[in-house]
Chains A and B, each alone.
Chain A
Amino acid sequence: MIRAKRKTGLVFFPAFDWAISPTHPEREERLLYTQDQVMEEGLLDVPGIREYRVRPAKYSDLQRVHFCVPDEPSMATESHLISAGGCLVAADAVMKKEVESAFALVRPPGHHAMKVVHGNRGFCNVNIEAVMVEYIRDVYGVKKIAIVDTDCHHGDGTQDVYWHDPNVLFISMHQDGRTLYPGSGFAEENGGANARGTTINIPLPPRTGEKGFLYALDELVMPLLEKFEPELVINSAGQDNHFDDPITHMNFSAKGYAELNARLKPDLAVLEGGYSVEKALPYVNVGIIMAMAGMDTSTVKEPGYDKHYAPQAPDITDYITNLMGTLKDQFLINPPAPHPAKNGEIITTSKRIFYDTDMINENQDERLVRCRDCAGALAIDSHSSKGNKMMGIHIPKDACPMCQKTAEKWVNEALDNKKFHHIFLQDRTKCTYEVLR
Chain B
Amino acid sequence: MILGLDVGGTQTDAVVLEDGHVRAHTKTVNRPELLETLGQSLDKTLAGIEPDKIQRMVFSTTMATNAVVMDNMDPAGMIVSAGPGMNPEWFSVGPSYHVVEGCMDHRGTEVMALDKSQVKEAIREMEKAGVNACGIVCKFSVRNPHQELQLEEWLGDQFGYKALGHRFSGSLNFPRRIATAYLNAALHKLHTKFISSLETTLTERGLNAPRYLMKPDGGTIRLDKSCEFPAQTAQSGPAASVMGALALDGCKGVTLVLDIGGTTTDMALVLDGLPLWVPNGIRIGEHRTSIRSLLTRSVGFGGDSEVRVEDGKKLSIGPMRRGEAMAFGGPMPTPTDAMITLGLMEEGDKDLARKAMEDIGAQLSLDAEKAAKMILEETTKGMTKAVIEFVKRINSRPVYTIHEVIEGIKIDPDRIVVLGAPAPIVAPMLEKAFNIPCVVPPHYQVANAVGAAAAKVTAEISLQADTQRGSMVIPEVGLESAIARDFTMAAAMEQAKEALFSRGLAVGADPGDQEFAVIEKEEFNMIRGGYRVGKNIRLKLALVPGLIPDCNCGGQQL
The interface of chain A, by Cβ under 8 A from chain B, is 1-2, 12-18, 22-23, 27-29, 32-33, 35-37, 39-43, 45, 51-56, 78-79, 82, 246, 278, 282-283, 286, 290, 295-296, 298-303, 305
User: CB-nearest residue of chain A relative to B403?
Assistant: A17
Report chain B residues within 8 Å CB of A278: 106-107
A38 to chain B, nearest CB (A): 9
Q: In whole angstroms, how far apart are the Cα atoms of A265 and B166 in the complex?
A: 37
**B85 to A79, Cβ gap below 8 A?**
no
Closest Cβ neighbor of B405 among chain A residues: A82
Chain A residues, CB < 8 A from B531: 23
The residues of B that contact A32 with a CB separation of less than 8 Å are 524, 536
Which residues of B, 74-93, contact A by the 8 Å Cβ criterion?
83-87, 90
User: Quick one: closest A residue to B112, CB to CB?
Assistant: A303
Most A-side CB within 10 Å, residue of B112, B176, B280, B402: B402
B103 CB-CB contact with A under 8 Å: yes
Please tell me if the beta carbons of A41 and B86 are within 8 angstroms of each other in the complex. yes
Q: Is B174 an interface residue (CB 8 A)?
A: yes
Q: Are A54 and B85 in contact (CB under 8 A)?
A: no
Residue contact B174 to A82, C-beta cutoff 8 Å: no
Q: How far is the CA of A301 from the CA of B112 in the complex (A)?
A: 14
Q: Are B402 and A79 in contact (CB under 8 A)?
A: yes
Q: Which residues of A contact B112 (CB under 8 A)?
A: 303
A51 touches B405 (CB 8 A): no
Cβ of B532 and Cβ of A23 under 8 Å apart? yes
* Interface residues in B, total, Cβ within 8 A: 43
Return chain A residues, CB-CB under 8 Å to B530. 23
Contact mask for chain B residues 395-423; partner A; CB cutoff 8 A; 1 contact, 0 none: 01111111101100000000000000000
B173 contacts A39, C-beta separation under 8 Å: yes
Task: Find B401's partner among A17, A51, A55, A246 (CB 8 Å cutoff).
Answer: A17
Q: What are 13 contact pairs spanning A and B, CB under 8 A?
A: A17-B403, A33-B107, A36-B106, A36-B172, A39-B173, A42-B86, A45-B173, A52-B396, A53-B396, A82-B402, A286-B86, A295-B86, A302-B84
B139: Cβ under 8 A from any A Cβ: yes
Say yes or no: B106 contacts A296, CB within 8 Å. Answer: no
Q: How far is the CB of A25 from chain B (nearest CB, A)?
A: 8
Contact A40 B405 (CB under 8 A): no
Bound state CA distance, A303 and B107, in angstroms? 12
Cβ distance A152 to chain B, nearest Cβ, rounded Å: 18
| Residue among B400, B522, B525, B530 having the largest count of chain A Cβ atoms under 10 Å | B400
Is there an interface contact between B527 and A54, defined as CB atoms closer than 8 Å?
Answer: no
CB pair A29–B524 under 8 Å, yes or no, is yes
Check A54 against B399 for contact (C-beta < 8 Å): yes
A300 touches B398 (CB 8 A): no
State A361–B402 Cα separation when bound (angstroms): 30
Q: Contacts A28-B525, A302-B84, A303-B83: A40 and B400 contacting too (C-beta < 8 A)?
A: no
Nearest B residue to A35 via CB reads B400
Shortest Cβ distance from A324 into chain B, in angstroms? 31
On chain A, the residues within 8 Å of B396 by CB distance are 52-53
Using A16-B400, A23-B531, A39-B173 as known contacts, say yes or no to A45 and B525 having CB atoms under 8 A apart. Answer: no
Q: Is the CB of A54 within 8 A of B526?
A: no
In the bound complex, residues from chain B placing their C-beta under 8 Å from that of A33 are: 106-107
Q: Is the CB of B172 within 8 A of A40?
A: yes
Give CA–CA (A52, B106) in the complex, Å: 24
A88 shortest CB reach to chain B, Å: 13
Complex-state Cα separation, A45 to B278, whole angstroms: 13
- A283 and B175 contact, Cβ closer than 8 Å, known pairs A54-B399, A82-B402: no
Return A42 CB to nearest CB of chain B, in Å.
Answer: 4
- A330 to B: closest C-beta gap in Å: 39
Q: Which residues of B contact A36 (CB under 8 A)?
A: 106, 172
* Contact A54/B405 with A16-B522, A29-B525 known, Cβ cut-off 8 Å: yes
**B283 CB → nearest A CB, Å:** 10
A303/B84 in contact, CB under 8 A: yes
Indicate if the CB atoms of B87 and A23 lie closer than 8 Å: no
Shortest beta-carbon distance from A43 to chain B in Å? 7
> Smallest CB–CB gap between B93 and chain A, Å?
11
Asked if A2 contacts B524 (CB within 8 A), the reply is no
- In the bound complex, how far is the Cα of B87 from the Cα of A286, in angstroms? 12
Residues of B within 8 A of A1 (CB): 286
Nearest A residue (CB) for B286: A1
Q: Would A29 and B526 count as touching, CB distance under 8 A?
A: yes
Are A45 and B86 in contact (CB-based, < 8 A)? no
Q: Are B402 and A18 in contact (CB under 8 A)?
A: yes
Q: A43–B84 contact, CB under 8 A? A: no
Of the candidates A2, A56, A299, A300, the one whose C-beta lies within 8 Å of that of B405 is: A56
Instruction: Type the 1/0 row for B506-531, where 1 means its CB is closer than 8 Å to any CB of A.
Output: 00000000000000001011110111
Q: A40 touches which one: B103, B139, B399, B402 (CB < 8 A)?
A: B139
A300 and B107 in contact, given A12-B400, A82-B402 (Cβ under 8 angstroms)? no
Chain A residues whose CB sits within 8 angstroms of the CB of B172 once the complex forms: 36, 39-40
Given A15-B402, A39-B172, A82-B402, verify A45-B280 contact (CB < 8 Å).
Answer: yes
Q: Is B105 on the interface with A (CB-CB < 8 A)? A: yes
Check A246/B529 contact, CB under 8 A, given A17-B402, A32-B536, A40-B174. Answer: yes
Contact indicator A14/B106 (Cβ below 8 Å): no
Contacts of B527 in A (CB 8 A): 22-23, 27, 29
Q: Is there an interface contact between B86 and A43, defined as CB atoms closer than 8 Å?
A: yes
| Docked pose: A335 CA to B279 CA in angstroms | 54
In contact, A303 and B400 (Cβ under 8 angstroms): no
| Chain B residue nearest to A77 in the complex (CB) | B402
A29, A45, A53, A283: the one contacting B399 at CB < 8 Å is: A53
| CB-based contact A42/B84 at 8 Å | no
- Bound together, the chains give a CA A303 to CA B84 distance in angstroms of 7
User: In whole Å, how far is A357's beta carbon from the nearest beta carbon of chain B?
Assistant: 15
Q: Contacts of A82 on B, CB cut-off 8 Å?
A: 402, 405
Answer whether A53 and B106 are a contact pair too, CB < 8 Å, given A23-B530, A36-B172, A78-B402: no
Contact with A along B181-218 (1 / 0, CB 8 A): 00000000000000000000000000000000000000
B292 to chain A, nearest CB (A): 16
Distance A2 CA – B86 CA, assembled complex (angstroms): 10
Closest residue of chain B to A18 (Cβ to Cβ) is B402
Q: Is the CB of A303 within 8 A of B105?
A: yes
Q: How far is the CA of A402 from the CA of B92 in the complex (A)?
A: 67
A301 to B532, CA, bound (A): 27
Across-interface contacts of A286 in B (CB, < 8 A): 85-86
Is B491 an interface position by the 8 A CB rule? Answer: no
Shortest Cβ distance from B91 into chain A, in angstroms? 8
Among B111, B174, B400, B405, the residue within 8 A (CB) of A42 is B174
A248 shortest CB reach to chain B, Å: 15
Q: Nearest 3 pairs between A and B by C-beta?
A: A42-B175, A303-B111, A39-B172
CB distance from A103 to the nearest CB of B (A): 13
Instruction: With CB as the reference atom, state the residue of chain A lying closest to B529.
Output: A246
Tell me, in angstroms, the Cα distance from A16 to B525 when the chains sit together. Answer: 11
Give the nearest-CB partner of A82 in chain B. Answer: B405
Contact call A78/B176, Cβ cutoff below 8 A: no
Select from chain A the residue with minimum beta-carbon distance to B178.
A42
Hey, what's the 0/1 contact readout for B255-296 against A, CB within 8 Å counting as 1?
Answer: 000000000000000000000000010000010100000000
Known: A40-B174, A53-B396. A29 touches B536 (CB 8 A): yes
Residue B168 lies at the interface, judged by CB distance under 8 Å to chain A? no
Q: Which residues from 6 to 43 on chain B have a C-beta closer than 8 Å to any C-beta of chain A?
A: none
| A302 and B171 alpha carbons, distance in the complex (Å) | 22
Task: Flag whether B59 is at the interface (Cβ < 8 A).
Answer: no
B residues in contact with A283, CB < 8 Å: 84-85
CA distance A23 to B526 in the complex (A): 9
From residue B429, how far is it (CB to closest CB) to chain A in Å? 32
Which residue of chain B has its CB nearest to the CB of A295? Answer: B86
Binary A-proximity of B84-123 (CB < 8 A = 1, otherwise 0): 1111001000000000000101110001100000000000
Cβ-based interface call for B229 (8 A)? no
| Contact A2–B106 (Cβ < 8 Å) | no
In Å, the complex CA distance between A296 and B530 comes to 36
Identify the closest chain A residue to B89 (Cβ).
A299
Q: Which residue of A lies closest to B105 (CB)?
A: A303
A37 touches B106 (CB 8 A): yes
Nearest Cβ in chain A — how far from B192, in angstroms?
Answer: 29
With A29-B527, A45-B173, A278-B107 as known contacts, state yes or no: A300 contacts B85, CB within 8 Å. Answer: yes
